[in-house]
Chain A
Amino acid sequence: MRKLLILCVAAMLAASCSKDTIVNTPCNFKLTVDWVKGSRAQFTISPENRNACYVYGVMPYDHPLYNSSDEEIIKFQLDWMHSDYANARYEGTIDGDFVDMFCYKGTRTVKSRLMSPDCDHKLLVFQIDPESLEAIGPLHTAVFHTSPVPEVDIHFTIQCKGNSFCILPSDHSLTWFWEYEASDRITDVYGSPYFFYYDILDMYDEYDFLSGILSQGPERWTLPDDDPSIKEGVPYVMSVSGCSADGEITSSVYYATFVYQGGQIEFVYSDMPLMAEE
């Protein structure tokens, strides 16, 4: 009896839930390119039917299929996704469904990153039948051109004394950015902290927070006053580069590793010249 009643309660709850509607007829999409920078762009994708399932991608001008027919592009994208999904299933890393892994429903604001500056790209959107997992309807596209990112001539010297260091840029008129993080938090599969650094910059830009932390001219840092969360004996990787106001890296990225121990900062590696401060 109690089981029956609990099922009633569950049914009451279920009745109040929204239902997933399967859409397998084509609908229109509105694509908006919100903004474009040198290596990043943001788009808003709005399907006419909010339950329509769709995927998106960005194709650069130098992709072999850039000027191919819509059908060829859809086939290429879909084949890649099915192959990726099948491999993941085979390796046992995925047990969810294709739609959850690749598809979106409803209006989404999405970003593309790590694009080449100053060249054409094409935003690609097409609808998927969530049951057959085949494409339905046409390919929806929006072409945009990434901004140029002028490379600047800036390099850095580090002066260090006791518990503080000073980063000296070669050109005091240029803006630059630096960041450090415990080395075990930097998990770039390529063994370089570049992508960690790019992600941090991208994050600050995304949250409209970059302007207050871009540097210009020399910058001094004293531990632990400037960072009470610093941990003693832990190696930290520091990354430094020229950076534009909109968060694009404008020079080579330079790296150093330091350890704070017993009230002293010791640099154990640096590809920037190190100077003892008088």
Chain B
Amino acid sequence: MLVVEKLTHVYPNGVKALDDVSLMVPKGMYGLLGPNGAGKSTLMRSIATLQVPTSGSIRFGETAEIDVIKEPEAIRRTLGYLPQDFGVYPRVSAYDMLDHMAVLKGIGNGRARKETVESLLNQTNLWNVRNKALAGFSGGMRQRFGIAQALIGDPQLIIVDEPTAGLDPEERQRFLNLLAEIGENVVVILSTHIVEDVADLCPQMAIMDAGRIQLEGAPSALIDGLKGRVWKKTIAKGDLDDHRKRYKVITTRLFAGKTVIHVLSDTDPGDGFEPMPQGLEDVYFSTLTSARAAA
């Protein structure tokens, strides 16, 4: 269990990337959804001990016994982290780098390390290219290497930050499947701005924007909360501004030259709107819309 309490982080330039964030993350996949710049990566990095937050606390463990900020060494022993963006050393092969990472993560025993490295190279489909320099890898291959290294040592806390960005649909699917399988027994935090990633996999989620947790819960419950409140209308492009003024528009989308808008309304707004089966995307955008309206 990961417990984040009142976490605030202010960058030297004055940007408040985290603003009183509190979260309780149980075992299983946990989706952290938010637009770019919402503070997701800052939160992820804070949990991964890579930066020290300005205030607040982070605890982890069966009984949340590890104070992550005070004892970063303790959490690192059971942490798997795949950052949003990472590079590689020059002239180092996938095998050697994974082996090296295994050493860093505490697999000192040679046999155990061999088993770890070979198993992970197989799982991530990198066995054939294990002796090639990582520097030449494509984005997808590199990402697979990233997940492989995150899984070393059977971590209890796995943090993956925007893992599917830059992957093709097939790769993305395979990646998510792997995650889902791992996520059964450990805490996995999946940070993303892609709604489907969360919708398909995560029993629990939070929506983050402007450094705050805007909404938290199980995706299905959140979707249910919008039941009967989402309405759709196809309008001419020129009418958009007028509609924005009159309704609470949560999404707009071009479709065959016309604009399709979704609005949020407890009652039927009439005016050509028709009821719409709500999805997680509507939850997401309505949360962002109201968060920004409040700000």
**Are A and B subunits of one complex?**
no
Which positions in A face B, CB cutoff 8 Å? none
